[in-house]
Amino acid sequence: MEFKFIETNGITLRAAVEGEGPLVIMVHGCPESWFSWRHQIPVIAEAGYKVVAIDVRGYGGSDKPHAIEEYTLKKLSDDVVGVIDFFGEEQAILFGHDWGAPIVWYTSLLNENRVSAVAGLSVPYFPQGDVSPMDAFEAIFEDKFFYMIYFQEEGVAESEFEPNLRKYLESTYFSADGRGMKKQFESPFNVSDKGPEAKYLDNVIQFDDYPKWINHDEMNYLINEFENSGMRGPLNRYRAQRKDFDDLKAYKDKKLKQPAALMVGSLDPVNFFVGEGYKDTADLKANFEPVYENLISVELIDDVGHWTQQEAPKQVNEFLLNFLKQI
């Protein structure tokens, strides 16, 4: 594996690159980096693909524009297209997790001829509707704490997280994985019970030990990445959602055309934002198949939380390899 610095869309992205063959671009979520794909990069490369796992703008070794409008889905999609251009390809296969999933879904929607297939982990494709997601969340969580609402005011979350990066990252990772979600379900006090005046790190789920899917050295690598990059870029992605709504109105209710795959952990907190989760793979498929024209692979993984490809690398690798064989 090597790092390359890719000029795209007026900025420079750092990417981990391995293998030769058809181009596969991996896009991470928040708060992560290319490193969240460390278990997938060598496996997909060995299967005969050129794997490019980027640091999304605002993260790691990539450029970090200051303005909120630099973090819209349109901007991030153009970044991905620029990566395809950099490697001299007409098309690429895209994999995304967490925020990386909407990025790859919308790159596919906005650039249909540049994406041959697309897979998302954790976050399904949600077409644009009649209401901005942030307006909907503010109505739903009017009298409760919700992290996306807390992130909206510039500087507030930065001033809480940046002096406390270890606590922020450990609590975010450990509260949203399978173990953390089980503890939340068993606890008489749930994070969602916090009032709107609370801070993110108030009453967070904590453990005395690390989960099996990440070790201290890996955590230290991620902490170092955010010590160098700061938190404004990652938080600006949340702040750009209203601009997304304005930018993408023309795509209201539009289905994705490319061959697609969706994998979700049964305990992923995203499943419970406004519902009670999914009973099984069939239930997950029934909920989201209508928004895809060619959803060829779907799986709900038992006992896995939000950090899908890190918590269950073997299952994710098998799922992605099987998807690649079908397209």
Which residues carry out catalysis? 98, 306
Secondary structure of 249-286 as H, E, C letters: HHHCCCCECCCEEEEEECCCHHHHCCCCCCCCHHHHHH
DSSP string, 173-184: HHHHSHHHHHHH
Name beta bridge partners: 52.
17, 25
DSSP string, 177-216: SHHHHHHHHH-SS-GGGS-TT--TTTT----SS--TT--H
What residue type is 89 in one-letter code?
A: E
All residues at 6 or more sequence positions from 219 whose CB lies less than 8 Å from its CB, including other chains? 166, 169, 170, 173, 210
Question: What is the pairing mode between strands 11-18 and 50-54?
Answer: antiparallel
All residues at 6 or more sequence positions from 287 whose CB lies less than 8 Å from its CB, including other chains? 124, 278
Question: What is the pairing mode between strands 11-18 and 2-8?
Answer: antiparallel
All residues at 6 or more sequence positions from 224 whose CB lies less than 8 Å from its CB, including other chains? none
Q: In this structure, what are the phi and psi dihedrals at residue 272, rounded to the nearest 5 degrees?
A: -110, 10
